Amino acid sequence: MAIYHMSGQIISRVGKEGKQRSAVAAAAYRSGDKLKDERDGKTKFYHREVKPVSFILAPEHAPDWVYNRERLWNEVEKVEKQYNSQLAREFNIALPRELSNEQQEKLAREYCQNTFVNDGMVADISIHRDDKNNPHFHVMLTVRPFKENGEWGAKTKKEYIKDKDGNFVLNEKGNKKTRNVSLTGWDKNKEKMNFWRKSWADIANKYLALNGFDSRISHLSNEAQGIEKMPTIHEGYAARSIDKRNGKSERVNHNKNVKSYNKTVEDLNKYKKIKKRNSRNIVFTHNFSPAEKKTLKEAAKFSKMFVSFSSVKERKNQLEKWHNSFKFKPLNEENLKKLNRINKEKELLTNAEKILVSESERFINKHYQNIDLNKLNDYGKIAIVDNTVQNKRLLNESELESVLRTAENEEIENSISSILNNRFRFVDSIEKEIEQLSSVFDKYKNTYNIDFSNKNSLENVPDKAIKQMKIVFDRKKSLTNSLDLMNKLYMNKLNEMYPAWKGKEHLSLKEKELFVMGAEYYGQAITPKDFNNPPRKYSLMEQKEILLLMNTNPSAIHQKYADFDTQNESYKQMFLAECYSYLNEFDEGEKAFIVESMNSTETNNIFKEFNGEKLYSFKKDEVFFSDQTNDSAAAAQTSDLFFNTLESVITDADRRAREDEERLRKKKKQNRNRGMGL
């Protein structure tokens, strides 16, 4: 995974400890070249196991000799005459591991050219690959500019200090006070550093995207990103070498402590996440039996439609951990690289699952030869490997049994959580599948003229056809049971919210979803007064920011808006419906994104189900209707989408309830009349 690391320092003639430093020696260390230092006459050289890739970039007006590394830094030593002169600025920057060597070099070149060289600096770049897991580059930058004629220019100029009235400020001796003013704008100030750091994140992310990788980096601190983990520090090749030789490296030890802390944070967050998931599951399924939960799990597995950002991320993290495990060397690294190139979440999760199952089977066959793989589902296989990697040892029989029991419960809870986050899609897909199965079953009936009230009609039906009909019938029955459970789930919530309303008995499953998703979004049941004055959960500015994050960095939404449930598809549809209801307040690009998101083929939009295609007829290049439009259809489209849809559903449910009561009344009357002999 790509990481963000960019540290900088000033290389001065006198170091922090008062020792003399040399720009030539620094360049030799980073480049791996033999360079003669003219100040002391010594040749500087540092042997590296892997020869760095080194090159120099310079402005067009710089003299040709700057491309000679030895002369460049000797000339710097000559022109900087003060005993404590600043000789160079250096940055150490981590390169994305996902990129090839060629792509990494191209990235480093483009960043240094655009950020430093185009601003007048000479950049001496060395890419280090001593550790294949830590590709990075060092860039040494000149701190003195070149004039247009190729000569060294001035770094600063002296400026007299004046007071607020424009008078010269004098020192104790009566002389005019002066200060040094930078002529380059390269001084290490917060604004400039932020610009350099952000520029690196931007261009690195551009290269990751262009080469098909979905990972991204950020120049912001973990705290600013809402991440609880502590950052590690750059260890460096020398520090790791000391540690390998059983020496003590403070930097390596620091990182070990940080990693231990971060592991605790990770475990705690995982526990919180599981607790939150289970708490939400209980709200909806508190009166479900274990058998009923298993029925939903099987239906969820059958539908194969649940993909979320977190599950994708978790699967990729699992593969990373397996790859780094002592037991798993080597995991096919090409598989990891292929995964990182996939952008579509559904395809990504499918591939991640395939790799996990394949690797887990290989692992179990090697280390747990007594286990029959045919008796394990994929969830159990992955759980065995996960726990082995976590414990750093093979599990005994008792531990294996415990792991498999826990895995079964986890699978059920995760399946239910997936259903709850995708209720409408789940119901829609199951209803369509039942319809398709009914069609297949009826086709068999008609083909063989089967009449189930007449046993003799089955005599001439081939056994293969009867077997297939039974499979279809059993599958349809199982899926119908899952819809019955969804109805039970919805009625639990509706009875809590509207105990006296008779119309709820006459709602379809999809209509019931509207009431539940509204309560989830607004944090309370919808009441009659809400229809007169529909609430707006997010302000226009908040909506604009969330829309931008949905398009660029979805995982960051929850960090800033804690109540925004990014895993809940119904919540996202409610948010988009709210935006759609205020469509005229957005610019053309935002309007297009809202409409396209609601019309995405990746999601089943409940509002499209009830309002039809008319909501989604806009084209990107069309001008959307204005507030002053007289078009009644357009005007309806700008009214509150959710509450208009819900009001229509309530009206129809009440009508069906009245019709049902009328039919029941007439039936009772007919029965009464028969009883009286009329």
Whether residue 534 is found in the same domain as residue 464:
no
pLDDT band at 326 (very low <50, low <70, confident <90, very high): very low
Q: Name the least confident of 47-51, 95-99, 235-239.
A: 235-239
Confidence of residue 271 (pLDDT cuts 50, 70, 90): low
Distance CA 90, CA 138 (A): 7
Q: Please identify, among 403, 421, 439, the residue that sits at the C-terminal boundary of a domain.
A: 421
- The DSSP bridge pattern shows strands 156-160 and 35-36 to be unpaired
**What distance in Å separates the CA atoms of residue 599 and residue 615, rounded to the nearest whole number?**
9
493 domain-assigned: yes
For residue 636, is pLDDT > 50? Answer: no
Per-residue pLDDT tens digits for 149-184? 999 998 877 777 888 888 888 888 888 887 777 778
Res 630 pLDDT > 50? no
Give the pLDDT confidence score for residue 188 in this predicted structure.
Answer: 66
Using CA atoms, how far apart are residues 358 and 362, in angstroms rounded to an integer?
6
How far, in Å, CA of 120 to CA of 447, rounded?
A: 82
Residue 109 and residue 77 share a domain: yes
In this prediction, residue 346 carries a pLDDT of 52
Amino acid at 598: M
Is residue 674, in this structure, part of any structural domain at all? no
- Longest distance between any two alpha carbons in the chain, whole Å: 128
Q: How far apart are CA 414 and CA 201, in angstroms?
A: 35
Q: Are residues 194 and 84 in the same domain?
A: yes
Contact 98, 211 (CB under 8 A): yes
What residue numbers bound the domain in which 492 lies? Answer: 425-497
Distance CA 656, CA 661 (A): 9
Q: Rg of the chain's alpha carbons, rounded to an integer?
A: 34
Q: What is the pLDDT of residue 356?
A: 76
Cβ neighbours for 8, distance < 8 A, ≥ 6 positions apart: 89, 90, 91, 92, 188, 193, 196
Q: What are phi and psi of 351, to 5 degrees?
A: -65, -40
Q: For residues 129 and 191, state if they share a domain.
A: yes
Would you state the pLDDT for residue 296?
Answer: 80
Q: What is the full DSSP assignment across 129-188?
A: -SSTT--EEEEEEESSPBPTTSSB--SEEEEE-B-TTSPBPB-TTSPBPEEEEESSS-S-
The mean pLDDT of 222-227, rounded to a whole number, is 48
Phi then psi for 10, rounded to 5 degrees? -100, 125
Q: What pLDDT, on the 0 to 100 scale, is given for residue 340?
A: 53
Pick left, alpha or beta for residue 51 (phi over 0 → left; psi -120 to 50 → alpha; otherwise beta).
beta
One domain, residues 370 and 447: no
The 3-class secondary structure across 532-554, one letter per residue, is: HCCCCCCCHHHHHHHHHHHHHCH
51/192 same-domain check: yes
Together in a domain, 391 and 457 = no
What's residue 281's pLDDT? 77
The pairing of strands 43-44 and 35-36 is: antiparallel
Please answer whether residues 300 and 419 qualify as being in contact, where contact means their C-beta atoms are separated by less than 8 angstroms: yes
Give pLDDT, residue 343. Answer: 46
Q: Does the pLDDT value for residue 537 go beyond 80?
A: yes
Cis peptide before 330 (omega within 30 of 0): yes
Tell me: do 485 and 564 sit in the same domain: no
The predicted pLDDT at position 25 comes to: 95
Distance CA 604, CA 463 (A): 39
Q: Decide if pLDDT at 310 tops 70.
A: no
pLDDT at 627: 36
Task: Check if the beta carbon of residue 508 is closer than 8 Å to that of residue 428.
Answer: no
Return all residues near 462 (Cβ < 8 A) that are at least 6 apart: none
Mean pLDDT of 553-565: 84
Whether 416 contacts 285, CB under 8 Å: yes
Q: Are residues 49 and 197 in the same domain?
A: yes
Q: How confident is the model at residue 284 (pLDDT cuts 50, 70, 90)?
A: confident
Phi-psi region of 212 (alpha: psi -120 to 50; beta: other; left: phi over 0): left
Last-in-domain residue among 481, 497, 513: 497
- Alpha helices in 556-612, H assignment, sequence order: 557-560, 569-581, 588-598, 606-611
Segment 70-93 shows an average pLDDT of: 92
Point out the least confidently predicted range of 227-231, 279-283, 673-677: 227-231
Residue 161 domain-assigned (yes or no): no
Residue 228 is assigned to a structural domain of this protein: no
Which of the listed residues 386, 421, 456 is the one where a domain comes to its end?
421
SS3 213: coil
Give SS3 for 358.
Answer: helix
Regarding whether 415 and 448 lie in a shared domain, the answer is no
Least confident of 39-43, 151-155, 299-303, 344-348: 344-348
Give me the helices (H) in 190-231, please: 190-210
Is 565 among the domain residues? yes
Q: What is the pLDDT of residue 315?
A: 62
Give the chain's domain count. 4
Please report whether residue 179 resides in a domain: no
Residue 229 lies in a domain: no
Residues 25 and 58 both lie in one domain:
yes
Instruction: Quote the CA–CA distance of 26 and 312 in Å, as a whole number.
Output: 43
- Cα(289)–Cα(354) distance, integer angstroms: 32
Secondary element (H or E) of residue 45:
none
Torsion angles phi and psi, residue 94, rounded to 5: -75, 135
The answer, yes or no, to whether residue 339 has pLDDT greater than 60, is: no
The better pLDDT of the pair 510, 233 is held by 510
Task: Give the model's pLDDT for residue 64.
Answer: 95
How far apart (Å, rounded) are the C-alpha atoms in residues 97 and 620?
37
pLDDT of residue 233: 55
DSSP structure class, residue 14: B
231 part of a folded domain: no
The mean pLDDT of 557-563, rounded to a whole number, is 85
The mean per-residue pLDDT over the stretch 61-90 comes to: 93
**Cα–Cα distance, 259 to 128 (Å, whole number):** 24
Count CB atoms within 10 A of the CB of residue 517: 22
**Do 318 and 399 share a structural domain?**
yes
Residue 572 has pLDDT above 90, yes or no: yes
Calculate the average pLDDT of the chain: 81
At position 513, the amino acid (one-letter code) is: E
